[in-house]
Amino acid sequence: MVSIHFPAGIFTVYCRDCWKSDKWDPVDYGRDYNFNKPFFKQYRELMESVPRPNLTGNNAVNSEYSHACESVKNCYFVFWSYFSEDSQYCYALLLSRNTFNSYIVDKSDHANESLHSNRIYKVNYGYFADDCINSNFLFDCIGCSDCLGCVNLRKQKYCLWNEKLSKEKYREQIKYWDIGSYKRLQEAEEKFISLYLSTPHRYAHIINSQNVTGDVLRDTKDCKMCFSALDGVQNCKYLYFGGLNLKDSYDISAGGDTSALLYEIFGTFGSQRIKFCVGGGGSQDNEYSDWAENSSHLFGCIGLKNKKYCILNKQYTKKEYEELLPKIKKHMDEMPYVDKKGNIYKYGEFFPTELSAYAYKETFAFPWYPKTQEEVEAEGWQWRSPQERSYPITLNSKDLPDHIRDVSDSITQETISCAHNGSCDEKCLTAFRINQEELEFYRKMKVALPRLCPNCRYSQRLAWRNSFHLYKRRCMCEGEKSLNGTYTNVTSHFHELEPCPNKFETTFSPEKPEIVYCDQCYKGEFL
């Protein structure tokens, strides 16, 4: 079976179905709290004894290679997704189908190589695109159809490189930009990047939100330092990827679905008053617990379902639990866990990183904050060198047919080398295969076959969004032109010929070459 755990690791790993079954009971691994040892040390011992699932998620139908997904069907290499089907190589797919190589795509159909897009159909390379149909290479476009290589357009049709054409002229010119050919695809990509760099961008992707700071926010209110918060996030701070009525929460990585009062959690849904927990859902009043399903009042527990009043997986009565819990919290303060670097972990701190079940390079943090082995080891965290890969390459990516129409079905039998060939720092798999569904999809989308492995494709896609850091900057509109002089304004703004005085917090770092405008100047130019 495939697993998120290292094969030679110390953990007992069950397959997802067995782990979720009633054939075993995590309470059998329960133990008394030992007041002579720090809590985190006891927790780690419990971690090593309680079986762990190879992959997490619920209701995955014919999706053996999906992880942390809820109700997905016929999906392959799909992670953190919700009610989606017939998709491959996607991350955080929501209510979508027939979507490949995408990252946070919502309610879409036939999307390829897209990122942060909502309701798109037949779109290749759609970044921050909403309600777009039959288009390729879009950035921050809304309500567009039949467009190619456009940035910042609203409700447009037949546009090529931001230029409006007649239907006939568009049909004629689009014949040249046939992205079914890899050479033409590369040419289009280069042209798109130069257009992207010469066009101003809004300081943040914020839609229908009030009193917020962060990036990629939709229908949110009173949120600070939040990133990728969608649909009813209210009164939250330090959040990455949350949504569906999440309220009054702090320090969240993936959480939501009618949750409130979450603090320092990762991947918890439909829960209230949860602190320092990982995974799980439908729970209340849990602390320091992993994968607690429909449970309440758990402390230091792993994998419990439908339980109440447990500590270190041992069942207590309500009275015993309420008596013991304050003593444990006091003990955590009196005998804190001290890691190799001398950091002190008392009650109120998240789990020490060095006790994690995963090495740094295997975690979600690595693509966003890449670190070398020396840096990771200096922090006292785990490092595991990637497994050596020696796939028998049967086809070099350079020898792939240029046009998708020239690709025969026999390509599904080939092991293709990744164009990066392990030379990048993107967890390159060095080789990849094209499966039948994927080939059919590329044919349907009329797009050239990829030359990179899925991991390299993922890293390339992430480069289209900024990291989770806000910089205080001034609007780059200088009156007639942008600050670097590459863009000439088409309308006059409220500040007329003077530089715009507006300041904002943006994820675009000052070193980045993009032109960044405030909301007023951006709307003046493009809306």
Partner 1 sequence: MKLTDRIKRYKYILQTLFQIAAFKIKVFFYKLKNK
Task: List interacting residues with partner 1 (CB under 8 A).
Answer: 95, 107, 109, 119, 121, 131, 133-134, 145, 231-232, 244-245, 258, 260
How far apart are CB 257 and partner 1 at their closest, in Å?
8
Which amino acid would we find at residue 503? K
Nearer to partner 1, 251 or 257 (CB): 257
Min dist CB 346 to partner 1, Å, is 33
- As measured in angstroms, the least distance from the Cβ of 280 to partner 1 is 16
Closer residue to partner 1 (CB): 119 or 420: 119
**Among 306, 309, 314, which Cα is nearest to 298's?**
309
- Asked if 366 and 358 count as a contact pair (C-beta separation under 8 A), the reply is no
d(CA 493, CA 521): 6
Residue 180 three-state SS: coil
Q: Closest approach of Cβ 247 to partner 1, in Å? A: 9
- Identify which of residues 95 and 462 has a Cβ nearer to partner 1 in the complex: 95
C-alpha distances out from residue 60 to 15, 100, 264, 302, 504, Å? 13, 18, 27, 22, 42
**Nearest to 478, CA basis, from 513, 521, 440:** 521
Q: Which is nearer to partner 1, 99 or 502 (CB)?
A: 99
Instruction: For residues 363 and 158, give the distance between their C-alpha atoms in angstroms, rounded to a whole number.
Output: 42
3-state secondary structure of 441: helix
Q: Which residue in the block uniquely carries the two structure tokens 């990133």? A: 227
Q: CA–CA distance from 105 to each of 280, 434, 510 (Å)?
A: 23, 22, 28
For residue 244, the minimal CB distance to partner 1 (Å) is 6
Q: Whose Cβ is closer to partner 1: residue 145's or residue 412's?
A: 145
Nearest CB to partner 1, comparing residues 107 and 237 = 107
Cβ at position 308, least distance to partner 1 in Å:
17
DSSP state of 449: P
CB-CB contact of 114 with 125 (8 Å):
yes
- Residues contacting 453, CB < 8 A, separation 6+: 418, 420, 428, 429, 430, 431, 432
Shortest distance in whole angstroms from residue 342 CB to partner 1: 43
What is the per-residue DSSP string for 241-277? EEESSEES-EEEEEEESSEEEEEEEEEEES-EEEEEE
Indicate the residue among 86 and 525 with the shorter CB distance to partner 1.
Answer: 86
The CB-of-175 to partner 1 minimum distance in angstroms stands at 16
SS3 328: helix
CB of 248 or CB of 354, closer to partner 1: 248
